[in-house]
Amino acid sequence: MAEKSKVEQLKERFAQQARAGIPFNPVDGVDIKGANVERLKVGMETFGWKDYRFVTAEQARANGWTVPAKANTVRITTRNAANGSVGEKTLYNASNVRGMPSLEAMLAMSDEALLKMRGEDVEAEAPEAQQSVAEPEADTPAPAGGEVEDDVVIGPAPGPERSVALVQDAEPEGVTDLFLGEPVGELDSPVEQVATADVANRPDVAPAQAAPTEPAVEADFAVMAPYWLDGLHNYEGIELARQVNQLIEAEKLAKNKAAIATLLSSYPDSRSLGVDIVARSKYLNDPHLKANTAEPTQLLGGELVRDKEGAYRPTAGGLAVLQDKGTSLVLKNKTEQAYRGAMELALAKGWKAIELKGKPKMLAQAWLEAQMMGLQVVNYTPTEQDRERLAQRMAEEVRKREAAAARAEALTPETVEVRPVVDATGKEVMATVKYTVARTGTHTEPSNAANDPEVTTPFDEPVVTRTVTRVDGLVRDDVVAGVTKVAARGVGYAGQARSAIAASLVDHEVDAAMDEVRAEQTAIVDLEKGARLVAHGAAPYDHNPKNKASYFVTVESESGQSRTVWGKDLERSLSAAGAQPGDVVSLIQGGREPVEVEVEGPDGTKDWKTAHRVNWNTAVLSRAAEVAQEPTVDVASSGLFLGPVVRVEEGRIAQKAGRDPNKLVWHDISKLQGKVPGVGDWAEINYSGGVGQVKEQQSAQELAR
């Protein structure tokens, strides 16, 4: 196989990164890695971007693209390789860059155009730009496997070739399947076919009796490859594992792990395909291999069935319309059924982007069906006529859905049932369930139904029910379809015998809604009763950068449930109460006051509008509880007291009395006459009629002299 050109490798890299959901810069030669990838993904989620491509403002200007002044950006960190200094780079998402071609258009660019976009020199011997779909030349021999020139071949869009530098005796580390998190290798070469009879003659595979001895192990071993590799069906790895396991069984190596490792090392692709030694029971019981979802037994709801050779034929019989070759799909005829079945099978294999091979005039329908199924075609450039057909097809699908909904609504009026229920607080509320029963099959009135009620037309399709459930006026569930499916064969249109079905459905919906209501009521944090203050501060409302500035308070109940409330007045209320994180606080809405706020109209003009702001009252309950827990003290009102003053607080002074150092006598300052002594002063206080007379004393220093 000829080595791929630089531009072909770039295009493959673009397609694979977009398919894997990894942000990248198609104009820059430096890959985005590490924390910068996560930063860009967070930006995509925050701003709702769907395009994984990012460029700088300078790169946009160099290509004649424009960036709006108010476009959202994400900053990433950069490191200077020469001096190690760290800087920042501002990136714009491709969806905000006007004039930037779509990913599909980039993948269809000529070599010269793509290199020019990246600011690179065009190679002097660069081949002419290829057509979007390569046609086989006249002298090209027919492809193997029975495929003929007119067959359409569909395969996954190729990813870049990667070298896997792993020592054969070492366990693969750090290579992980993007979807399943299983340790695997990378896919880069086909399965090597090995005959069972050749194993005994291999110099690198010792016979079972001469294999290095290991401690006796009761468990048998096998080899296994991950079912999914980079999100795609690992057909080649699974086939390689199957062949090696046949050799292990034929040579009776199941109990000799060292011999199996030696055998596996003779397959250079085993590591890149993720093939590893496992317990035989794990291989036999692997749920992915058992389910084998990438090779469904039926397609299109049972219209096509799969045979042992991987061919799909109509259920009624006939010639194969589609052949599954593991890493490619071959269409044996050009019917719409074959195209739709191929796209459904491609999705089952995890292919998000596909490559088409065949004559261009045969591939327009394949592109159309791929678009209808949400698949990207990386090597076919649709014509204007193709795009018009796609628009017509999508409009036709919308009309079909609307017509089906109208027929169902005309045949099945809505029914509303009301049930009294009790919530978690003991309050009785009303639950309502509004439902419709729509038959998906067609109905024909019998000619003699009026004379013979037993003669009715059966409905072959199941009954599909739509429900809207409310509890105390609040919508709790709104399911369009799929709530329940009940066989309706033998139930006529006139009979409408579904009372038991409806009663069971209503019971189920009410129970599910009330479970949700009670769970919310038991989990909600009562702000008035008090909860621990976890955090507070200024932030955009609901922590969404697109919203206006507000103030939040997050509290947590004793059971660990948290709740966040928003309001600009919360800042003032918490500050006035002196609340700090860790305090148990009570938050009570204290009414609303009118305020003037600036709003922006649809035409961009700004105006002032009267709104109402909630006032909040905050109380620190934990502080009040501490004060309440302090022991009450008696305040003197009669008698003579001599001794030093040891404490002064909140309008009171404490005087040490007697020999007990912990015994204090408290005096209310408002009931004292004379100079109030301070801490450390000797005091003589004599009460008469509830008023204490303070006698002036010499200071302790004077007494000491």
pLDDT 10s digits, 614-660: 888 888 887 765 555 555 567 888 888 888 888 888 788 888 866 66
DSSP secondary structure letters along 305-371? EE-TTSEEEETT--S-SEEE-SS-EEESS--HHHHHHHHHHHHHTT-SEEEEES-HHHHHHHHHHHH
- From the list 279, 265, 395, 393, the residue with the least C-alpha distance to 336 is 393
What is residue 51's predicted lDDT score, i.e. its pLDDT? Answer: 92
The full length of the chain comes to 705
Q: What is the pTM of this model?
A: 0.38
One-letter amino acid identity for 415?
T
One-letter amino acid identity for 588?
I
The residue ranges of the chain whose pLDDT is under 50 are: 1, 124-149, 160-217, 440-462, 464, 481-498, 700, 703-704
DSSP helix/strand/coil, 90 = strand
What is residue 60's predicted lDDT score, i.e. its pLDDT? Answer: 92
What is residue 487's predicted lDDT score, i.e. its pLDDT? Answer: 38
- List the domain boundaries for the chain: 6-130, 196-291, 298-380, 412-523, 531-599+607-627, 631-704
Q: Which residues have CB under 8 Å from 83's CB, separation 6+?
A: none
- From the list 13, 10, 29, the residue with the least C-alpha distance to 110 is 10
| Interatomic CA distance for residues 362 and 145, integer angstroms | 20
Expressed in percent and rounded to 5, the helix, strand and coil fractions of the chain are 30, 25, 45
Question: What distance, in Å, lies between the first and last C-alpha atoms of the chain?
Answer: 111
| Interatomic CA distance for residues 484 and 684, integer angstroms | 90
- Residue that has been written with the tokens 């066989």 in this structure: 487
What is residue 333's predicted lDDT score, i.e. its pLDDT? Answer: 79
Q: Which residues have CB under 8 Å from 688's CB, separation 6+?
A: 638
Report the relative pairing of strands 652-656 and 562-566 from DSSP bridges: unpaired
What is residue 501's predicted lDDT score, i.e. its pLDDT? Answer: 60
What is residue 502's predicted lDDT score, i.e. its pLDDT? Answer: 64
Which residues partner with 619 through β-bridges?
586
Q: How crowded is the C-beta side of 507, counted as CA atoms within 13 Å? A: 6
| Interatomic CA distance for residues 106 and 121, integer angstroms | 17
**CATH number, domain 631-704:** 2.40.50
φ, ψ for residue 678, nearest 5 deg: -100, 180
One-letter amino acid identity for 416?
V
Report the relative pairing of strands 73-79 and 311-314 from DSSP bridges: unpaired
| Interatomic CA distance for residues 491 and 504, integer angstroms | 18
| Interatomic CA distance for residues 329 and 358, integer angstroms | 12
